[in-house]
């Protein structure tokens, strides 16, 4: 089962899977794993996307940032590929909204999972450690090393159920706990031993012809009741810290797109718009540009990893992220992508994702830190961003 945005593939007959490990790549075809090509990771991704038949969907790991900038990296305890894509047939693609209306959907959504029993703190990093991480970032900002950094916490625990149907049912409950534009579900359990799903609301990149756009999110408030939307939205828009952080990321996106777009053709289409979801409210902007050439390798090299989940300047922020978080992010904060047969694409920022591997589930939440950040408030934001996932699992945060 594969889902991206409003597309779902319930069948994948004779599909080819692309696996990237650093500068080496492989394909799985007819249950056989074969060597593919060697080279720069972005060049290898471009080669598979451009040359293989059909539509492609998959993910690009945040860990590939080490091929964009050079910096010390943390411990990789997940040991996942740096990218995985699957080539799928357009005629096997269905509409996700139609699927949601079907009887099969209601059977999946209403499946009662075995209750998750939690003992202790499900966050690998405790409250005090996270708050100290925020304080460390503020000190680095005060020293002039960086202006803004996005740091994350990771949830992990064992699940009492592991079947594909049960995990897909969890994904559907997660989607309905908080509907987003870029849901994703990739079941690579039989070939690679893991499942990745996403409830991302954030557009990293969308390319249509020679037009490319990005919609960074920076600014979050928890929403307890739909009746509070107007008040919470007004508070978010009026918050100088949130506006400053959003503007900083917009400037980074403009700079990134400026490397690959015609001079004077990068424009801010929206600034400080409010987007409302069932459990939270976000501050969103939109940047659009006209590409000089349609080269995926150049686009990724100029923009990856996403500005909203790293910081400013990007290299300094990534160095601090590795030091504070210690463990490598893996797919979290990378990109989840869909390519059509014309090589137009949509990529979401790989946030609000969960990963199932070795009978264990992982989930991440992140916060953007500036000098004006209140450590306790950032801690509370990290909880806010896990509410929908907790609801899907049947417990509260």
What's the pLDDT score for residue 11? 76
What's the pLDDT score for residue 81? 98
Through-space distance between the first and last CA atoms of the chain, rounded to whole angstroms:
29
* Residue 270: pLDDT over 60: yes
* Residue 119: pLDDT over 60: no
What's the pLDDT score for residue 301? 97
What's the pLDDT score for residue 196? 97
Q: What is the largest CA-CA distance in the chain?
A: 58
Contact indicator for 116, 159 with CB cutoff of 8 Å: yes
* Residue 118: pLDDT over 70: no
225 or 62: which leads in pLDDT: 62
Alpha-helix residue ranges (DSSP H) falling in the chain? 41-51, 96-101, 103-109, 127-142, 164-177, 189-192, 229-238, 240-258, 296-303, 314-325, 375-384, 387-393
Please state, as a whole number, how many other Cβ atoms lie within 10 Å of the Cβ of residue 55. 21
The Cα 136–Cα 378 span in angstroms is 13
Q: Each residue of 282-300: pLDDT tens digit? A: 999 999 999 999 899 999 9
Identity of the highest mean pLDDT range in 96-100, 261-265, 390-394: 261-265
The Cα 35–Cα 25 span in angstroms is 6
Q: Stretch 325-333: mean pLDDT, rounded?
A: 96
Backbone angles phi, psi at 343, to 5 degrees: 65, 20
Question: HSE on the CB side for 153, CA within 13 Å?
Answer: 26
Task: Give, to the nearest 10 degrees, the angle between helix 127-142 and helix 314-325.
Answer: 150
- DSSP assignments along 261-329, one per residue: B-TT--EEEEEEEEEE-SSEEEEEEEEEEEBSS--HHHHHHHHPSPGGGSEESHHHHHHHHHHHH-B--
Q: What is the mean pLDDT of the chain?
A: 92
**Where residue 397 falls among pLDDT bands split at 50, 70, 90?**
low
What's the pLDDT score for residue 311? 94
Q: Each residue of 194-230: pLDDT tens digit? A: 999 999 999 999 999 999 999 999 999 988 888 899 9
Contact partners, residue 246, CB within 8 Å, separation at least 6: 216, 218, 219, 271, 272, 283, 285
Contact indicator for 178, 277 with CB cutoff of 8 Å: yes
Residues 111/112/118/123 CA torsion (nearest 10 deg): 20
Q: Each residue of 241-269: pLDDT tens digit? A: 899 999 999 999 999 999 999 999 999 99
Q: Which domains does the chain have, with CATH numbers?
A: 2-393 (3.60.120.10)
Q: Each residue of 335-386: pLDDT tens digit? A: 999 999 998 999 999 999 999 999 899 999 999 999 999 999 999 989 988 8
Q: Stretch 96-118: mean pLDDT, rounded?
A: 69
Contact partners, residue 159, CB within 8 Å, separation at least 6: 116, 356, 359, 360, 361
13 or 112: which leads in pLDDT: 13
Q: Each residue of 15-42: pLDDT tens digit? A: 899 999 999 999 999 889 999 999 999 9
What's the pLDDT score for residue 279? 87
For residue 164, CA distances in Å to 97, 180, 362 come to 20, 22, 16
What's the pLDDT score for residue 7? 96
What's the pLDDT score for residue 64? 97
The tokens of 226 are what? 């739909």
Local structure of 191: helix, strand or coil: helix
The tokens of 112 are what? 């009662």
Lowest pLDDT segment from 129-133, 161-165, 201-205: 161-165
* Residue 273: pLDDT over 70: yes
Q: Stretch 113-142: mean pLDDT, rounded?
A: 85
For residue 223, CA distances in Å to 81, 138, 342, 344 come to 36, 27, 40, 35
What's the pLDDT score for residue 31? 86
The Cα 42–Cα 64 span in angstroms is 9
Backbone angles phi, psi at 141, to 5 degrees: -70, -45
What's the pLDDT score for residue 110? 62
Backbone angles phi, psi at 263, to 5 degrees: -55, 135
In our burial notation (b when 16+ CB lie closer than 10 A, e otherwise), range 239-273 reads beebbbbbebbbebbbbbbbebbeeeebeeeeebe
């Amino acid at each position: 089962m594969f889902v991206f945005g409003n597309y779902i593939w319930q069948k994948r007959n004779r599909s080819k899977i692309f696996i990237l490990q650093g500068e080496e790549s492989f394909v799985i075809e007819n249950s056989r794993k074969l060597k593919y090509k060697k080279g720069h990771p972005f060049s290898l991704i471009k080669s598979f996307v451009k040359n293989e038949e059909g539509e492609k969907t998959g993910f690009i790991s945040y860990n590939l940032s080490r091929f964009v900038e050079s910096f010390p990296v943390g411990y990789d305890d997940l040991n996942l590929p740096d990218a995985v894509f699957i080539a799928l047939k357009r005629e096997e693609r269905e509409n996700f909204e139609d699927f949601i209306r079907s009887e099969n959907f209601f059977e999946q959504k209403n499946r009662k999972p075995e209750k998750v029993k939690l003992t202790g703190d499900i966050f690998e990093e405790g409250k005090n450690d996270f708050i100290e991480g925020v304080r460390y970032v503020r000190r680095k900002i005060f020293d002039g090393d960086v202006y803004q950094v996005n740091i994350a916490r990771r949830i992990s625990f064992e699940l009492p159920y592991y079947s594909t149907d049960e995990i897909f049912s969890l994904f559907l409950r997660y989607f309905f706990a908080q509907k987003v534009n870029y849901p994703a579900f990739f079941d690579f359990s039989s070939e690679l031993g893991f499942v990745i799903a996403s409830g991302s609301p954030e557009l990293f990149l969308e390319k249509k012809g020679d037009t490319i756009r990005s919609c960074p999110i920076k600014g979050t408030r928890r929403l307890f009741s739909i009746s509070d939307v107007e008040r919470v939205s007004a508070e978010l828009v009026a918050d100088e810290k949130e506006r400053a952080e959003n503007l900083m990321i917009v400037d980074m996106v403009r700079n990134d797109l400026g490397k690959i777009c015609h001079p004077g053709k990068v424009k801010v289409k929206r600034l400080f718009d409010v987007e409302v979801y069932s459990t939270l409210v976000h501050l969103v902007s939109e940047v659009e540009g006209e590409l000089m050439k349609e080269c995926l390798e150049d686009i990724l090299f100029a923009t990856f990893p996403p500005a909203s989940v790293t910081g400013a300047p990007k290299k300094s922020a990534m160095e601090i992220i590795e030091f504070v978080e210690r463990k490598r992010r893996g797919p979290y904060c990378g990109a989840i992508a869909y390519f059509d047969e014309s090589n137009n694409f949509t990529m979401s920022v790989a946030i609000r994702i969960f990963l199932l591997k070795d009978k264990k589930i992982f989930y991440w939440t992140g916060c953007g830190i500036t000098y004006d950040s209140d450590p306790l408030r950032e801690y509370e934001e990290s909880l806010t961003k896990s509410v929908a996932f907790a609801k899907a699992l049947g417990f509260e945060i």
